[in-house]
Amino acid sequence: MEENGHDPQATLEQPGNDTPVTTNKKRKPMAASAVQEQNGQATALEGGKSKRERKVGLLPTAAGDQKAVSFAGKIIQETTWSALKGRKLFSVNPDGSHPYLKLSKSSYYDLVTEEVVTSVPITTAQKVYRIKLL
């Protein structure tokens, strides 16, 4: 064996056994192998991270599969558009019909037509009515 410290192998003796065992000092630690499950099958991923596949429920395929639902709610506060915080349900009608969801100070989501409106026709001083679902 060399004494300069560049010897990658060292010889060890096991107690009770006369045969020396050679080990590698510069052995790299084994990388954790990640496994991804897909439909009961496991596949390896790079980087050592595991990832599970998201299970998605059945979505309606046609209009015949869809069912009508209704939600109960009430008007809890009259406020202005500028005072309304983000991610809040509101309506421009005092009876709460045609609900919206405020996304930011300049956009909202129309819950009836399912469209994002980015050019707000609502003025900052216009009254809106906050809705709370029951």
Give pLDDT tens digits for 14-62. Answer: 566 565 655 556 655 555 444 445 555 555 555 556 677 777 766 656 6
Evaluate whether 118 touches 106 at the Cβ level (below 8 Å): yes
- Give this prediction's pTM: 0.50
Q: How far apart are CA 7 and CA 21, in angstroms?
A: 15
CATH architecture of 76-133: Roll (2.30)
- Across the chain, mean pLDDT equals 74
The two structure tokens encoding residue 80: 């202005």
Beta bridge partners of 45: 34
The 3-state DSSP class for residue 14 equals: coil
pLDDT at 48: 59
Degrees, nearest 5: CA angle 10-15-18: 75
Those residues whose C-beta lies under 8 Å from the C-beta of residue 28, and which sit 6 or more positions away, are: none
Q: What is the pLDDT of residue 119?
A: 77
Look at residue 54 in the predicted model and tell me its pLDDT. Answer: 75
